[in-house]
Amino acid sequence: MIFRFFYALSFFLGVLLAKKDLNFFKPLEPTKNYFGSFKIGYLYQHANTIKRAPIRLKNRSPLLMDKIYHDASLGFDAGYLFKKKALLGGYLDAGMGGSYFMSAGLAAGVRLFKGWVIPKIALGYQLQILGTKIDKYQFNIQSAVGSVGLFFNVAKNFGLSLEARGAFLFISSKANFLKHLARHD
């Protein structure tokens, strides 16, 4: 109860301060030729395979899975700004919770409506650890990932980013199977 009171009080004070300074909600104008941003967020993942493309391991029948993960995510984007409009750079992000992953890649975007909206596209590499409903073992997967998204400015130095990410699987391995290979080499 006390937490809700302080939350409401801080929100009310924020609105009062914002009324005094109408530029509070306006996006920051670029002053340099580079940018950087830090992201903290929630990640909803639906990992599934289909009969035409199951996870295949040596000495084992194909594994079909259909699982939903709820994770926390952290990320960092940095790069160059061209003519105060186009963004080109890289990203590094990670997620933890139901599954664990780390990915890195290249991203491009454009500042629209004076920075209020920034659509972006990214391509990269991801290493992920999955647990499945079918098997008690964990699986390590490596994949190429692509994402498209929109960033909406909410206030100076703060915004909301919505992204959709898809992956193309390169390698899948069972954790115990990898340990077994290491002992026999």
Confidence of residue 104 (pLDDT cuts 50, 70, 90): very high
Does residue 183 register a pLDDT over 60?
no
Share of the chain above pLDDT 90, in %: 14
Confidence of residue 181 (pLDDT cuts 50, 70, 90): very low
Partners of residue 126 on adjacent β-strands: 103, 143
Domain 30-184 of CATH type 2.40.160: yes
Domain boundaries of the chain, sorted by first residue: 30-184
Taking residues 79-97, what's their average pLDDT? 88
pLDDT recorded at residue 163: 87
Share of the chain above pLDDT 70, in %: 61
Does residue 155 register a pLDDT over 80?
no
In b/e form, how buried is each residue of 121-146, taking b as 16+ CB within 10 angstroms?
Answer: ebebebbbebebeeeeeebbbebebe
pLDDT recorded at residue 185: 39
pLDDT recorded at residue 169: 72
